[in-house]
């Protein structure tokens, strides 16, 4: 695999998602880190974004609710290079009606080498890392060999 490099800016675009059963935990975490979150541009699925705006008085760009396509909208933004990191408090013990969308979103974060936190501890490590306070050169996989491959007819 070859890579190109892109710069994740000092002020990052952070996608924030939480399953309904994890929204209280996310809100507690976000309140504790409000000052750090305020330094970045926030993007969230609909219900989560409204919860963050109402309780933290922060501006949040909202897409649709996850089950209505919001996870896919955030996934598309990852592919377009418009998301620098993802914080997704997901519930591994509860089946979701949109599980394929959730799996696709997590997969895209890994495919495009985007930092991904899936619980409060990993979100702490991500948000409190010195790398969050500066620009960072991210290696982006070059999928040219994949997209230019010849498929026999």
pLDDT digits (tens, 9 = 90+) for 61-78: 999 998 899 999 999 999
pLDDT digits (tens, 9 = 90+) for 71-98: 999 999 999 999 999 999 998 887 777 7
d(CA 52, CA 129): 22
pLDDT of residue 147: 66
Question: In terms of C-beta distances under 8 Å and separation of at least 24 residues, what long-range contacts does 103-106 make, across chains too?
Answer: 104/71, 104/72, 104/75, 105/17, 105/71, 105/72, 105/74, 105/75, 105/78
The residue whose two tokens read 């955030």 is 74
**Per DSSP, what are the bridge partners of residue 125?**
none
Work out the angle at residue 118's Cα, subtended by the Cα atoms of residues 126 and 43, and round it to the nearest 5 degrees: 75
pLDDT of residue 60: 97
Query: What average pLDDT does the segment 131-143 reach?
Result: 93
The CATH code for residues 2-133 is: 3.40.50.1380
Catalytic residues: 71
Q: Residue 89's CB: how many other CB atoms inside 10 A?
A: 24
pLDDT of residue 149: 67
Q: Which helix (H) or strand (E) holds 136?
A: strand 136-142
Query: What average pLDDT does the segment 105-128 reach?
Result: 96
pTM across the whole model: 0.92
């Amino acid at each position: 695999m070859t890579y190109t490099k892109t710069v994740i800016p000092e002020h990052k675009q952070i996608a924030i998602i939480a399953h309904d059963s994890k929204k209280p935990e996310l809100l507690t975490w976000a309140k504790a880190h409000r000052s750090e979150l305020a330094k970045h541009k926030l993007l969230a699925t609909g219900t989560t974004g409204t919860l963050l705006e109402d309780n933290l008085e922060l501006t949040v760009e909202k897409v649709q609710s996850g089950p209505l396509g919001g996870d896919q909208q955030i996934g598309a933004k990852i592919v377009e290079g418009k998301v620098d990191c993802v914080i997704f408090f997901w519930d591994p013990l509860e089946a979701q009606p949109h599980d394929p969308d959730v799996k696709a979103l997590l997969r895209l974060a890994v495919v495009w080498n985007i930092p991904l936190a899936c619980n409060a501890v990993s979100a702490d490590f991500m948000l409190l890392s010195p790398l969050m306070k500066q620009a960072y050169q991210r290696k982006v996989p070059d999928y040219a060999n994949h997209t230019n491959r010849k498929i026999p007819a």
